[in-house]
Each structure stands twice: as structure tokens, then as C-alpha cells.
Chains A and B, each alone.
Chain A
Amino acid sequence: MRLAVALITALSLSFLIVGGADANPKGKKIAYLTTSPTHPFIATLTKTFVARAQGFGMEVSTFGSQFDAALQAQQVDDAIARKFDMIAIVSGSEQAIVPALIRAKQAGVPVILINSPPRDGSEELYLSFVGEDHVQLGRITGEAVLKALKDGGRDGGKIALITGSLQEGVGPRRVAGFREAMKANPKAQIVAVEDAKWATDASERIAGQLFARFAAQGGLDAIYGMADNQSAAIVQAAKAAGIPLGIEKGKLIVVGSNCLKQGIAGIKAGEQYSTGTQIPTRTGLKAAEMVADHFNGKKLPKKEILPVETITKANVAKWEEACTF
């Protein structure tokens, strides 16, 4: 009996070893599901992921959904049916993707989530998530605003947020982090949170409206444009309205995020105070490496949270190259 057990164990182990040797990333088929392949950030993320994954010998098929939650869920089902070895998803909706993740798990197809944070409580449905902690990103941006106010000699002030989509995902998390940071100075008050859905034109229009709305109350002290395309639009709106930019009293502090080249240019020109690191090339490389690690038999962490850092004039040179894409 013991001999039989030992034999079975030995055989199982040998199968595992052989399986492990075969299970390298070369030739693995990856379905890469993304939101908007034409958006600069997403396009760079996709390009980096695909290039790195191909470098490991994997075959990557890319599918775009233009933030259509139904289409993306359907693409997951299609990928399961076509027997891809793994599905990598930049999800458009953390809620609507859940049933598709359940079906992927039931079918035994591993899923890695990239950049867009997964729904809390859905950890069992995916292999790993790689991306930034957006609450933290919001928090460091709030801290940057408080520092700019203090350095400019202001004891608090009126702050407005022009955000990305607030329905779910990144937007609400960053707002939550920003609000947390504001608790450090009760005199710094968030007086408006406006959803511009990441759009540049909407951000410029909303900024203009906010300037008019708060003009009678002494104007705004700071505005957070949730992505740098938005903060650049705010800068343009401020210039059009004749509002001076900078940290000194009477000037408007503009902060951004996502580390886009517009933000870097704004910081260098002294028109934007800060941005935050969310770098698509870094995320894409890391995600592809994690996929390769998985096929090499390594255990992946449930969440690979990439470090975030505030970028100001003091350290802009360090990040300029990484943030220009």
C-alpha cells in the first residue's frame, strides 16, 4: 500500500516537474482586452504590454471595447471559447466585468487585471492585479495641494476638483484619497467636484464655469485636474479668463495626475504645480513580466501595487522621459 502511495506521489511529482518545464511563456496565447486603443495612455500601455509579451514568445491578440461594458464582457466569453491561455484585461467597468470573470474562473482560464482597479471582494476571480493604488494617488495629490498652499503663504483655501468619470473605478478612489488628505487642514475646503469624464474639452468648459462661479467669492485657490490633459485644459481656461497661475497668494494652483507630457510641460513652464506617477510603460512591462512569471510557474501576488510619487519642478527631470509618450 505504502509502495503504491509512494509510486503515485513520485509519478505525480514527475508530471508536475515535466508540466512545469513545458509551461514556459513561449507560444502561449494571450487575449489582451482593453478599453480605448486610441487613447494615448491606453495605446502606450497596450503597445508596451504587447511588445514585451511578444518578446517572451507569447502570441497576443488585442481587442478594444471603447468603454462598452457589454462588449468587453462578450470579449471575455469569446476568449474563453477560443481557448486562450490567459486573458489580460484593462477593464472598462469594475462592476460589469464580474460575471465574465466568474465564467473565466469556471472555465479555468486565468485572468490578470491591468491598471483599472478591480471591484473589492472579487479577489478570488482573478490571478493578479497590476497597477497603482488610486486612493494613494489621490492622497498624494491632496498633500501636494496643501504643500503648495502652505509654501505660497496661504492658510487653507477653496479647492475644486475636475475629475475623470465618477461612476466607478479610478475617479471615485482618487477623490476619496484627496478628501482624506484634506483632513490635515480643515481650512482647505473642497468647494466643487465636477465630473468631466476625463475629457479635455469638458474640463476647459467646466473650469471656465467654476472661475465665473467663484469670482464673487475671491476666486479659487487650487484646482485638481484628475489627468494631465485635464489640468492642461484648466491652465488654458485660466489664461483665457486672465487668472494668474502659480503658488503665490492671488494665483491659481493647478495640479494634475497621470504623468502625461502636457503635465510635464506645464510643470516645467511653471503653470502646473504637480502631477503624479501613473506610467503606462511601467505598467505594461510589469504586466507582461507577471504573465511570463505565471507561465514559468512562479506564484504571483494578488495585487502588484506600483509605487506612486508626486512630480514637481524639483524632480521633473527624473520623470520627464518616462512621462513623455
Chain B
Amino acid sequence: MWRYLDGPHARPFAVLAACIMLLALVDGDNGRFLSAATAYSTLQTFATISLVTLGLGLTMMIREFDLSVVGMYGMAGCIAVLTGTHYPWFGLWFALAVGLIAGIVQGFIIVRLHLASVGVTLGGLLVFIGIAFVLTESRSLPYDNLGVALLLNERVGGIFSIRGIVALVFFAGAAAIFAWTRLGRDIIAIGSDRRAAMTTGVKVDTLIIGIFAFSGLCAALSGVLLSYSLASASPAGLSDVIAPAAAGAILGGVSLGGGSGRPLGIAAGALTLAVLRSGLNAVGAPPFVNDITMGAVLLTVAVLDGPYLARRLIEARRWARRALGA
């Protein structure tokens, strides 16, 4: 049992369960945390950050990093609000197309010019933010189709919203692809040893471009859904996403060194952050406790994932077994 929980794929779920138990314990029998209201709030926060976390997490799995998600998140929202007041679907598809194409272009530049993704996507980030400022004339934009805004956040089944369901469907799809196709294995192989993956016939370049395209698409979709649901768009973005997304991916078992992680793990990582944010609010913790707790959880996971510490723990376990055997 312990070995299973200690495994790299189970750890995100163990951390999530630990956070839920801890918050339930803190709340006691007040009923503030283990309630439908907090579950809904958690899934709403999950909807805001999780798609970006998924896209970013996949780029991290192949030992790259897509900084441009922040810019795409804001820009896609602005595009959708500008073009989708009367035809929300048109605004959505248009913004998604922009996200997809921008991701392909960035991936293509990285692959063809053999450039580091951080530099390229930093350029992308600045370009997207700049375009968003030009499109909006440096103003926040109202989205006058309030019906769409209310619909996206309307409760479905007590704890879900359309935004949340879209995010869950994306994660389910990604998990299915990882489980039932060789794509997941190839992604992990690229992150572990790119040259070896190439030698074994993995289409490395195509996959890298594809993953950046998917990341762009996820950021755009997330940005559009958030802008529609808040009935506004801002060139600077409506929510801080890069820090929670990176933290969620790391909590989800993705290593910055690449070659590890699963979509369901990333979902658990994003959900952990959402549980902490909504749960701490629900139990009435002061605002600063939220950041400290999230930082502490992240630090703990990072330390536990450190190879040196892991080695020392294995050695300690062996020593303990020998001592008990003797």
C-alpha cells in the first residue's frame, strides 16, 4: 500500500487526499469545507487554471516550457470578446484557431531553428500581450452578452459548471490518449532522452510542434471561457495563471527535467491548488495563509521529489530493514 502511494504516479493523488483530509480536519463539524458550495467553488477554480496547467504540463513533460500561455490566455479572451458579442461560437472558434496557429508557429520555430523554448515562448508572450493591448486600445473590454456569462457559470448537477465540465472532458480525453495510444509513451520518451526517442522512430519534431499547438489551444480555450464567464476581457489577463499552472503541473508529478507526468496527475495537481484555495477560503483562513500553504505544499513536494532526498530515503529504509532484520 505504502509503496503504491509512494509511486510517482500516485503521489499527486496522495497529496490531494492529504490536503482534503487536512482541511476537513481543520473545519471540524462546521460543514463549511465538505459542502456542495465548496465543491462547486473548487471546480470553478479548477476550470480557471487547469487547462493552462495541462498544456504547460505537457510541454514540461518533453523538457520544454511554454511561457506564452500567459499572453495567449489574455489575447484569446480579448479576441473572443471583440468578435463574439453577437456570435459567441464565432468568437470562440476564431480565438481557438489563433491559439492553435500561434502554438504551431512557436513549435515550428523551436524545432526548425533548434532554439530553446523559453526564449521563443518569451517572445511569443510579449508579442501576444502587445497585440492584446493594440486590439483593446489598452482598455478592459466589457462583453455585453451577459446571457453567455451566466450560462457558463450556471450550476450543473449541484457542483459543476459548463466551464468545469469542459476542463474535465479535456483531461479525460488526454488521459484516454495516454492510456490507449503510444502517444503518451512517445511524449515521455522525448522528455527522457530525445536522441534515443528519435532513434526508436518517434516523430520528435512533429510531436513537439503538436504539443505546443495543444498548449496554445488550451490557453486560448481557457482564456475565452474565462472572459465570457466574467463578461470582460483584459489585455493583461483576468487571472494570474502562470504560477498556479506551473505549480499545478509540478504537484501533478511533472518534472521540470522532463520525462515524467500523466494528464490525470496534472488534473490532481491543479485540483490540489483549487482545493487549497477554495477550502482555505471556506474555513475562513486569512488571505495570506492561502499563499503560504500553497507554497509550503509545493516546497514539500519539490523536496520529496528531489533525487538526492529520494536516494537518502531509500538508503534509510534499507538501513531500517537491516536493523529490524538483525
A103 to B140, CA, bound (A): 21
Contacts A37-B287, A37-B288 given: A78-B37 contact, CB under 8 Å? Answer: yes
Q: CB < 8 Å: which of A78, A82, A96, A103 contacts B238? A: A96
Q: CB < 8 Å: which of A71, A95, A167 contacts B231? A: A95
Q: CB < 8 Å: which of A62, A74, A195 contacts B44? A: A74
Asked if A62 contacts B142 (CB within 8 A), the reply is: no
Asked if B150 contacts A102 (CB within 8 A), the reply is: yes
A93 to B139, CA, bound (A): 11
Tell me how many residues of A have a C-beta within 8 Å of chain B: 31
Query: Which residues of B have CB within 8 Å of A70?
Result: 48, 226, 230, 238-239
Asked if A166 contacts B138 (CB within 8 A), the reply is: yes
Closest to B41 in A: A78
A residues 96-122 touching B (CB-CB < 8 Å): 96, 98-99, 102-103, 119
Asked if A71 contacts B232 (CB within 8 A), the reply is: no
Closest to B142 in A: A95
Shortest distance from the beta carbon of B318 to any chain A beta carbon, whole Å:
46
Closest to B226 in A: A70
In the complex, whether B126 has a CB less than 8 A from a CB of chain A is no
A residues 55-106 touching B (CB-CB < 8 Å): 61-64, 66, 68-71, 73-75, 77-78, 81-82, 93-96, 98-99, 102-103
Asked if B231 contacts A96 (CB within 8 A), the reply is: yes
Asked if A99 contacts B229 (CB within 8 A), the reply is: yes
Closest to A61 in B: B284
Asked if B142 contacts A75 (CB within 8 A), the reply is: no
Asked if B146 contacts A95 (CB within 8 A), the reply is: no
In the complex, whether B278 has a CB less than 8 A from a CB of chain A is yes
A297 to B32, CA, bound (A): 30
**Which of A64, A66, A70 has the largest count of B CB atoms less than 10 A from its CB?**
A70
Contact with A along B120-154 (1 / 0, CB 8 A): 00000000000000000011111100100110010
Query: Which residues of A have CB within 8 Å of B140?
Result: 93-96, 167-168
A residues 13-72 touching B (CB-CB < 8 Å): 37, 61-64, 66, 68-71
In the complex, whether A172 has a CB less than 8 A from a CB of chain B is yes
The A-B contact count (CB < 8 A) is 102
Asked if A98 contacts B231 (CB within 8 A), the reply is: yes
Asked if B146 contacts A99 (CB within 8 A), the reply is: yes
Asked if A64 contacts B139 (CB within 8 A), the reply is: no
A141 to B91, CA, bound (A): 41
Query: Which residues of B have CB within 8 Å of A99?
Result: 146, 149-150, 153, 229-231
Shortest distance from the beta carbon of A70 to any chain B beta carbon, whole Å:
4
Asked if B231 contacts A93 (CB within 8 A), the reply is: no
Q: CB < 8 Å: which of A64, A82, A93 contacts B32? A: A82
A residues 250-269 touching B (CB-CB < 8 Å): none
A58 to B32, CA, bound (A): 20
Asked if A69 contacts B282 (CB within 8 A), the reply is: no
In the complex, whether B281 has a CB less than 8 A from a CB of chain A is yes
Contact with B along A251-291 (1 / 0, CB 8 A): 00000000000000000000000000000000000000000
Query: Which residues of B have CB within 8 Å of A74?
Result: 41, 44-45, 48, 278
Query: Which residues of A have CB within 8 Å of B50?
Result: none
Asked if A93 contacts B238 (CB within 8 A), the reply is: yes
Binding site for A on B (CB under 8 A): 32, 35, 37-38, 40-41, 44-45, 48, 138-143, 146, 149-150, 153, 226, 229-232, 234-236, 238-240, 277-278, 281-282, 284, 286-288
Binding site for B on A (CB under 8 A): 37, 61-64, 66, 68-71, 73-75, 77-78, 81-82, 93-96, 98-99, 102-103, 119, 166-168, 172, 195
Shortest 4 CB-CB distances between A and B: which pairs?
A81-B37, A64-B287, A95-B232, A70-B239
